[in-house]
Structure 1
């Protein structure tokens, strides 16, 4: 799972997004390898936007959720359950989840 904020770098924050992009590429590569080997395992790259968790309370971002619309953890859990609940012939290869109004 890769957060959407991981997709944008900055001067002091450039390696983290690159690693997250790499995790998506690896996910797609493994999915293709499993498919070619006729192994029926689904792999989905899930990228949620901002999610209301306690991580912000442990940083200098305590007021973040007052300023930016955020998803609830249950929203992400529902999306994961959706991907897991698809029929065997359906592959959700990538799923992006954002709150309406999130920049």
Structure 2
């Protein structure tokens, strides 16, 4: 990670869970980190927590379903630190909206954040790298085991899984486009199984006990586990393309 010290990383969905864990790791490794979310209070608290570490955290308020806010964020990053060298697309959500009975607006929300926001951030990060002749940058997509299979009897996750299947295609598409441009910018994904975050509480809104049970049946992954996988991908030598890291709790069946 020494080569990343002093360089700029963007982490979306940085206020809690996996995003916050990734931010901590990157700041500890001396990176200049931009953390964005719809609410920045928790990111600011995280910045205060990390103020004595080697790196720096800049909180920015950004709704990833709004392209204008994303473009404004990249403008701020350019004005503050020159541009982005690493883009970690962590933001994502699942809403209880089955394919045969779900609300259209909930589907649109998942598409806007899980796919469109991810693609816009990746595009703008790539443009930032190319403009500054950064040829060793890295784009990382936080995906899901849901990109590889559907869990039986979980219709509430079907549309969410479809967005992650899309992310799997986007990953390969970006890699191919980088190769066609003879760019050494790398694209990777990390696809976890069950991780203890706010994910289940948002999915099962108003059913806290049901959400809590998902994380209490057996030991599950923690945000730090996913952050470690991100560090592994970033630490790989330039000739190594870490394509997708799949990881699940040892006790997870599917």
- The TM-score, its normalising length taken from structure 1, stands at 0.85
8 Å contact kept, 2:145–2:191:
yes
Per-residue CA shift, 1:25-76, capped at 9, x if unaligned? 0111110110121111111121011111133345331221111431111111
Paired positions, count: 103
Contact map agreement 1:5 1:50 (CA 8 A) in 2? no
1:38–1:95 distance in 2 versus 1, CA, 3 Å: same
Residues 1:39 and 2:183 are matched in the alignment:
yes
Alignment of 1:1-103 (within 5 A): 1-5=142-146, 7-8=149-150, 10-57=154-201, 59=204, 60=207, 61-103=211-253
Do the aligned partners of 1:52 and 1:65 also contact (CA within 8 Å) in 2? yes
Q: Which has the larger radius of gyration?
A: 2
Residue 45 of structure 1: SS of its match in structure 2?
A: strand
Gaps of 5+ in 1: none
Secondary structure of the residue that 1:96 maps to in structure 2?
strand
Distance, in Å, in 2 between the alignment partners of 1:40 and 1:29 is 15
Residue 93 of structure 2 is matched in structure 1 by none
- TM score, norm. by length of structure 2: 0.37
Greater strand share, 1 or 2?
A: 2
Change beyond 3 A, Cα 1:27–1:69: same
RMSD between aligned alpha carbons? 2.0
Which portions of structure 1, spanning 4 or more consecutive aligned residues, are displaced by more than 6 angstroms?
none
Greater share of residues in helix: 2
